[in-house]
Structure 1
Amino acid sequence: MHAEKVQQLLHSINSVIVGKETEVRLLIAGLLARGHVLLEDLPGMGKTVLARTLAQSIGGAFQRLQFTSDLLPSDVVGLHFFNPKTGNFELRRGPVFADVLLADEINRATPRTQSGLLECMEERQATIEGVSLPLPEAFFVIATQNPIESEGTYPLPEAQLDRFLFRLSLGYGTRTDSLAIMRRFRTDSPLDDVQPVLGAQDIIQMQKEVRRVHVSEAVENYIIDLTEASRTHSSIEVGISPRAMLALVRASQAIAYIDGRSFVLPDDVKLAVPPLFTHRIRLTMEAELLQTERDVVQELLQSVPAPVETGVQ
């Protein structure tokens, strides 16, 4: 296991991002589980800084794409253009051909352009004028959006939301965090000093090792119980799909791997459930007036008994 390199990656990101250790762990877990992450928060919370810090820490090819209402699918995946010098059509690859893609303010683009990412995120390939081209093996999307601004935005369709393993929010932080941020960024940005601690090939190897993390039968049944509870809860109209259930398994394996274990504990599942379930369930109309998705997910975690940890290895 690349335990030392994982800790170096955590340390590199936490040297820039203040007081968000859990969110950083989940972001790295999303990467190692071969998923993608949606950062949903107010402007100025550090979403872009977090994405850039991760990209600089792994030393892969990084592309940032600012989503706007006039962005076209070809601006995302690429196109063939006529070169008058050679007299031939040539391929111009889009920004998706990168190890880490930051899709900034993704909900400002039209649904047609947003759908241009669907194939890339799920199949890890891009189709340009009928020709399918593979993306880098470590391809990872970090998308950001503002949850309260609705003017000039287009809500992400359910099919695309489901492609994001986690939806994370950074939040304001404590007074102590604010003081640390003020002092850390007072002179120069610590982002300027971030150096790669591992490469794309290290990430690919870690992703393979994550799949080998053991999941006991007790933990498997716990994941199934949580999935079925989401489908029968009185406040939930649409529960967790089989694809999301498999995503929970991969996410739990990645969290265990980051913690240096070769087996999954129920606590790994509990940590992964809120950011994985909240954007996939749909509440009933009555429940929406009284509760949030996070409230209902916490009810699920409290109502479904977890297996005893001594028997899950």
Structure 2
Amino acid sequence: MLKKKMISLTAAVLLAASLSPLCFSSSPVWAKDYERLVVMSDVHYGSKEHKDLAKRARVMANKEKAVQDINSWKDVDLCIFTGDMVELSAGDNEYRLARKLTDKVTQPKTFIAGNHEVVYSETPAVKGKLQPADPYERMEHIGEYKANYGPLYYAKNMGNYLLLFLSPDEIEGHIINNKPYAVELSEAELTWLKAELKANRNKPTLIFCHTPLEGTILPDNSENEPRNFTAPAKEIKDILSQNPQVLVWASGHTHTPPTDASFDNAVNHYAGTSVLDVYNPAWEGDQIWTNSFYLYSDKIVIRTYSHENHQWLTRFDRTISLPASLTASNTKPAA
């Protein structure tokens, strides 16, 4: 009889525990020692695919499933859309469509603009090629972008880290080989960037920009042309060379997937600097991958996730160790 009473008492305790509020909490029950960033690049929602409607529907469904995955991750501190949220070019209809996806992200999120938000005209494409926007159109596009997604460039603190966000804002855009630079930063934005870095010399810094840095992709890659790198290239290299606290430049634009040799390659290290350009895949193929950045007090860990197979691609795991001068215990306000 005593044994039966003990069993009943144990069952009652287990039942009470299962009904406690802790079991229904949506927050992690472990103590995190990192901040996690998830980069979502070139989502192009609905899809740039317009001819094959079955493929278009499949690609759009994949994008929605990837958002569901990301929403289910309980340790995410910030989702970062690194440009090209719209399908092809700016305009009310394009933004309404793009926001059907971006508004579904329930995690904290932030945005920067890509070339498809700013540099192309809304006039019909010629032989399948989008046409450059004139300065007046660019100003209109920038206004539309700000109304939907916020400022073009800004800073955020994340734990001991500084995050800087850059977007194309040069109104008088330059043309090279009959095409506009995908991302061109104005003098005002460059001045702001220099000031932010000067004020935060002791903070490990990650920069998010739609386009990569010149020379960080393999020479034989089809995207290796000057217009696809952040301009003005010389000024940006000078700034980064003078600021060794910048450890990461996270880019999109080139749609570089993990299956491409340029995705994780020694060439991604920006020559003469401490910067690693991390290429983030587009959401436009049959598969979707995302990179997550784990910011620890002494290192940055970069991991790549396959949303098709629901698994980490461990062969692409990368770790950037912070110099002793940039670790949390040694960080002091800049003079």
TM-score, reference length from structure 1: 0.27
> Which entry has the higher C-alpha Rg, 1 or 2?
2
Task: Name the structure with the higher helix share.
Answer: 1
TM-score, reference length from structure 2: 0.26
Task: Name the structure with the higher strand share.
Answer: 2
